[in-house]
């Protein structure tokens, strides 16, 4: 099997699956529609939004933008989300984050109906994930598992180390790997360096989601391992880099996701599949 676990081929397979599921929805007059909610004019948010719109269009899915002024108040933003929750023609919501500081992000997140919370940002959706109830997993975390599945890298019975414990990636991906019957250890900033190195060397699969370049380096890995690098960082020349020292460790481990071209490449397709699933639920 290839050393480089590329995300695009995984995305292509998910896209194919989406295309095969759409005719049944179209037949009932349903076009899966995604609400994209953006507050302000952050260029990063706009880039992400444009990517989502383009991907949706290429698959025959619809998007509707809700662009709110940067000085919008919490209550007004919640009112926008509630109106989307109640809109039967919209099946999913993508809320671009982080929100401006003056907004109570927790209240806004939790105003999303769990059925439309495609990226699992509300506490209700996270609770559903925890107990294994209906709902959607965070797209990036699911993308990690999709890559492992696509490349036939079994999780069951494997020692898995997750570096990072955020609600966005670390915790949910650890939970999902546990549900996939991995033996999961979570490391974080308070993990002693010697323990981090020992855990990493002992692992079969490493998922790095620390948001910090060179979190995983050559002395922390060995042959036989798979590395899923979730990190998105930029070096001095504005070149995108992951959390792993790619140059140093790609020669040593068996498999590794590149950055860019790895986890991030499959994430938007996972989001679109969630949208289709939400529309199917509405149909039924």
Residue 246, token pair as written in the block: 């790619």
Q: How far apart are the first and last CA of the chain?
A: 40
Binding mask 197-236 for ligand NAD (x = CB under 6 A): ------------xxxx--x--------------xxxx---
- 198: enclosing H helix or E strand: helix 193-202
In whole angstroms, the minimum distance from the beta carbon of 115 to ligand NAD comes to: 23
Quick one: 30 or 163, whose CB is closer to ligand NAD? 163
User: What Rg do the C-alpha atoms of the chain give, in angstroms?
Assistant: 19
Does residue number 172 form part of the binding site for ligand NAD (CB under 6 A)?
no
Q: DSSP letter string over 72-108?
A: --HHHHHHHHHHHHH-TT--EEEE-SSPPTTS-HHHH
Task: Pick the binder of ligand NAD from 267, 269, 278, 282 (CB under 6 A).
Answer: 267
Burial 200-210 (b: 16+ CB within 10 A, else e): beebbbbbbbb
Quick one: 229 or 282, whose CB is closer to ligand NAD? 229
Task: Pick the binder of ligand NAD from 32, 92, 135, 170 (CB under 6 A).
Answer: 170
CA quadruple 248, 253, 258, 263: dihedral sign: negative
Task: Pick the binder of ligand NAD from 80, 90, 169, 203 (CB under 6 A).
Answer: 169
Task: Pick the binder of ligand NAD from 263, 270, 271, 279 (CB under 6 A).
Answer: 263
Q: Which residues does 165 contact at the CB level (< 8 Å), separation at least 6? A: 171, 174, 186, 188
Find the part of the chain contacting ligand NAD (CB under 6 A) among 45-53, 89-97, 116-124, 188-196.
188-196
Q: Rule CB under 6 A: which of 25-64 touch ligand NAD?
A: none
In whole angstroms, the minimum distance from the beta carbon of 165 to ligand NAD comes to: 4
> By the criterion CB under 6 A, which residues form the site for ligand NAD?
140, 163-166, 168-170, 187-189, 191, 209-212, 215, 230-233, 263-264, 267
């Amino acid at each position: 099997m290839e050393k480089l676990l590329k995300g695009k081929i995984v995305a292509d397979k998910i896209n194919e699956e989406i295309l095969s599921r759409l005719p049944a929805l179209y037949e009932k007059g349903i076009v899966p529609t995604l609400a994209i909610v953006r507050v302000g004019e952050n260029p990063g948010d706009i880039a992400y939004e444009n990517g989502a719109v383009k991907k949706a269009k290429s698959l025959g899915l619809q998007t509707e933008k809700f662009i709110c002024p940067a000085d919008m108040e919490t209550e007004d933003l919640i009112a926008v989300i509630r109106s989307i929750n109640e809109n039967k023609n919209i099946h999913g919501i993508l809320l671009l984050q982080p929100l401006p500081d003056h907004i109570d992000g927790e209240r806004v997140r939790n105003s999303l109906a769990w059925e439309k919370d495609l990226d699992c940002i509300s506490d209700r959706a996270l609770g559903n994930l925890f107990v294994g109830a209906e709902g959607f997993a965070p797209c990036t975390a699911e993308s990690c598992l999709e890559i492992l599945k696509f490349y036939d890298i079994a999780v069951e019975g494997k020692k898995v180390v997750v570096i990072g414990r955020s609600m966005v990636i670390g915790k949910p991906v650890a939970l999902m790997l546990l549900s996939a019957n991995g033996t999961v250890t979570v490391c974080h900033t308070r993990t002693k360096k010697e323990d981090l190195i020992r855990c990493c060397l002992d692992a079969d699969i490493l998922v790095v989601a620390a948001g910090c370049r060179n979190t995983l380096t050559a002395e922390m890995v060995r042959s036989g391992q798979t590395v899923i690098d979730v990190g998105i960082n930029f070096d001095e020349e504005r070149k995108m880099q992951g959390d792993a020292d790619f140059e140093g460790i790609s020669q040593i481990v068996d498999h590794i996701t590149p950055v860019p071209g790895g986890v991030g490449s499959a994430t938007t397709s996972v989001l679109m599949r969630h949208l289709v699933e939400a529309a199917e639920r509405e149909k039924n």
